Amino acid sequence: MKVLYFAWVRERIGKAEETVEPPASVRTVSDLMEWLVARGEEYANAFASPKTIRAAIDRTHVKGDAAIAGAREIAFFPPMTGG
Amino acid sequence: MTVPVTIRIQSDDFDIAAEIAALTKINTDIGAVVSFSGICRGGNGPDAIAAMTLEHYPGMAEAEIGRHVAEAVTRWPLDGVTVIHRYGRVVPGDNIVLVLAASKHREAAFQAAEFLMDYLKTSAPFWKSEERGDGTNAGWVEAQAHDDNAAARWEK
């Protein structure tokens, strides 16, 4: 699946997107965040306060308990500041 | 009847008068258009900024705005909606966002425009980073609790 990062999440991780293949035990958005954190310091830094991180699956906002099975595109980003 | 909806995410500026004219020429039964435009603010003193850059999530920005426009159309008797949001670098005084809501009467137009703006602030995937006068990076704008509260009052 493709994972996208925006704003300071993108800056801290150092990339805008990547393709990942997490194991089957990674079932939810929160699981995926934890799995990414284990990959390195830049991820741990980006996801240091998980409550401030928003997520979307296939371009729709979701909560941390959302299942990622079948997702094509998962995005992580800070609270939005448009308008 | 399908309500005419225009949603555009663009780096270019927009012409507010031209957008209103395009919306109101759709039908002669429109009696009210409410227009909200959001403008880049420069601020004063140590918090003054020289520019801001808007990052967005292409594809999701259109989809998310579209979902809220679809809800507005079911909640109020609207005859047309336009939402334009810019991305990229803007300087104080530049347009950032335009929301137009057209209806037979003003009440629906006022409420729909406010509803759309409140949701745009909290759920459309855009992020602002700011530059100081000396060109240095002033960091990402933080989300405001009062914006969440403004959006929450529309929940049914």
Q: What is the pLDDT of residues A23-68, one digit of tens each?
A: 999 999 999 999 999 999 999 999 999 999 999 999 999 999 999 9
Superfamily of domain B5-144: Molybdopterin biosynthesis MoaE subunit (3.90.1170.40)
Edge-first strand order for the sheet with B126-131 is B88-90, B51-56, B126-131, B137-140
Q: Work out the pLDDT band at B156, boundaries 50, 70, 90.
A: confident
Can you tell me the mean pLDDT for B123-142?
93
A81 CB neighbours in chain B (<8 A) are 121, 126-128, 140-143
The CATH label, of 3.10.20.30, 3.20.20.105, 3.30.70.3420, 3.40.50.300, for the domain at A2-77 is 3.10.20.30
Q: Domain residue spans in chain B?
A: 5-144
Q: Helix B145-152 crosses helix B106-123 at what angle (to 10 degrees)?
A: 140
Residue of B57, B87, B129 best to disrupt the A interface, most CBs of A under 10 A = B57
Can you tell me the mean pLDDT for B89-113?
97
Name the minimum distance, in Å, from the CA of A13 to any CA of chain B: 15
Q: Is the predicted pLDDT of residue A79 greater than 70, yes or no? A: yes
CB contact under 8 Å between B85 and A82, yes or no, is: yes
Q: Is the predicted pLDDT of residue B133 greater than 80, yes or no? A: yes
Cβ proximity of A18 and A3 under 8 Å? yes
Q: What is the pLDDT of residues B7-31, one digit of tens each?
A: 999 999 999 999 999 999 988 999 9
> In the prediction, which pLDDT does B1 show?
65
> In the prediction, which pLDDT does B135 show?
84
Cβ proximity of A80 and B143 under 8 Å? yes
Look-up: residue for tokens 């009062």?
B146
> In the prediction, which pLDDT does B46 show?
78
Q: What is the pLDDT of residues B70-84, one digit of tens each?
A: 999 999 999 999 999
Can you tell me the mean pLDDT for B109-117?
98
CA B122 → CA A34, A60, B152, distances in Å?
A: 25, 14, 10
- Cα B75 to chain centroid distance, Å, stands at 18
